[in-house]
Structure 1
Amino acid sequence: MYQPEGTGRLTKTKIWITGIAMILATAVILLAMGRIPICECGYVKLWTPADDISGSSQHIADWYTLSHIIHGFLFFALFRFLLRRRSTGEWALGAIFIEAVWELVENSPWIIDRYREATIAAGYTGDSVLNSVFDILWMLAGFWFAAKMPVWVTVVTAIFFELLALYVIRDNLTLNVIMLVYPVEAIKVWQGG
């Protein structure tokens, strides 16, 4: 695994405790925001297939999980570039923080409404707390993958994930960002099939 020059200021124990605390705090805030703990269906699935639109973003993993893994790739690259003298564990805390903030913003009424109006996700109601917590954990899996693999393997994996999601659900991280920031009607029509 890549280890920067500096030793950092936090011990491994403090990093673990801080990371777990940030994830738990995110879950508590999401619950306080009125997010449902698990799918309204009353059960938990490991994987939600593409044809289960109502279950998307409600269970442990779905096709958007690939985007969260790519977030981890990107956060690792960002912190490696910006904070070379900090430890990989401290970079992971920064990645958890960014992903947790995104989960809170993503589940705000403003972003949920934005998804509904600008994308094909007309029935999107936001993530369950379970899904949001696992989105953070999937991001961490991507982060650690990027830390252990050569850069070219991470880049090829990210491209593969983007193309796979594009093929299966006509959506991916790239299109998601485009449609949130500057919606393109032609993309929305294409995604609608």
Structure 2
Amino acid sequence: MTGLSDGRLFGVELRSWLVVFAILAATAATLLVMGRVPICECGYVSLWYGNAYGPGNSQHLSDWYTPSHVIHGFLFYALFHWIARKRSLGFRLILSTVLECTWEVAENTETVIQRYREATISLDYFGDSVLNSMSDAGFMIVGFLLAARLPVAVTVFLAVSFEILTAVVIRDNLTLNVLMLLYPLDAVREWQAGAS
């Protein structure tokens, strides 16, 4: 099912992949027009950047926030399996990619960057590089495809494990990120500040 013999790649028809890549390209172009840097201003690209509070965070291919984007894929798969179950896997992947890319653009607007800096401990957050945004979208796609193949219990176990791991290591995760953006709590901010 991962080959091209049936006109599908990872269970998704090729025409849907073309639409996904077009959405990614349009998103990258939009981010560039918005003034986002293509790659880290440090001048190099790392496969992994492990300092969640360093200047290279959200600038390279992966970091401690990468698991959040895999979880986006899990959640988007579940959402569209629920509301668009009769539609093809490719159509649901396209919708998921639109959602993820919409977030990547919104996340890199001055309004959201300022919100991160005011409401969370991300005082030095200045937005993502285009490379990082595209990588985040790629990890969402990986999460979506994993959710399409794995038993629900395994997907839930992975999501909870990712959330616990990142909470323990960097005192942040998808749940806390959403909470602090929507309803910042001083107690959470103080606890998170202990990691920086």
- Under a length normalisation based on structure 2, what TM-score does the superposition of the two structures give? 0.92
Please name the residue that 1:176 is paired with: 177
Give matches, 1:149-164, under 5 Å: 149-164=150-165
Which secondary structure state, in structure 1, belongs to the residue aligned with residue 122 of structure 2?
coil
Q: How many percent identity over aligned positions?
A: 53
Please name the residue that 1:190 is paired with: 191
Question: 1-side partners of 2:36 and 2:51: how far apart?
Answer: 22
Please name the residue that 1:137 is paired with: 138
Question: 1-side partners of 2:164 and 2:52: how far apart?
Answer: 18
Please name the residue that 2:9 is paired with: none
Please name the residue that 1:94 is paired with: 95
Please name the residue that 1:74 is paired with: 75
Which secondary structure state, in structure 2, belongs to the residue aligned with residue 39 of structure 1?
coil
Q: Is the 8 A contact 2:166 2:172 kept in 1?
A: yes
Q: Is the 8 A contact 2:52 2:64 kept in 1?
A: no
Q: How many residues align?
A: 184
1:22 aligns with 2:23: yes
Please name the residue that 1:122 is paired with: 123
1:53-95 residue CA offsets vs partner (Å, 9 max, x unmatched): 1111000000000000000000000000000110111110000
More contact order relative to length (CA 8 Å, sep ≥ 6): 1
The code of the aligned residue for 1:138 comes to F
Change (3 A) 1:52 1:184: closer
Question: 2-side partners of 1:15 and 1:140: how far apart?
Answer: 13
Which secondary structure state, in structure 2, belongs to the residue aligned with residue 73 of structure 1?
helix
Q: Is the 8 A contact 1:50 1:168 kept in 2?
A: no
Give matches, 1:108-119, under 5 Å: 108-119=109-120
Q: Is the 8 A contact 2:52 2:63 kept in 1?
A: no
Please name the residue that 1:148 is paired with: 149
Question: 1-side partners of 2:68 and 2:123: how far apart?
Answer: 20
The code of the aligned residue for 1:123 comes to D
Task: Note the residue ranges of structure 2 that are not aligned, 5 or more in a row.
Answer: 2-11
The code of the aligned residue for 1:56 comes to N
Question: 2-side partners of 1:180 and 1:170: how far apart?
Answer: 15
Change (3 A) 1:102 1:166: same
Q: Is the 8 A contact 1:118 1:183 kept in 2?
A: yes
Task: Note the residue ranges of structure 1 that are not aligned, 5 or more in a row.
Answer: 2-10
Question: 2-side partners of 1:125 and 1:84: how far apart?
Answer: 38
CA RMSD of aligned residues (A): 1.2
The code of the aligned residue for 2:75 comes to L
Question: 1-side partners of 2:156 and 2:17: how far apart?
Answer: 27
- Under a length normalisation based on structure 1, what TM-score does the superposition of the two structures give? 0.93
Question: 2-side partners of 1:49 and 1:13: how far apart?
Answer: 35
> Once superposed, which parts of structure 1, at least 4 consecutive aligned residues long, lie more than 2 Å away?
none
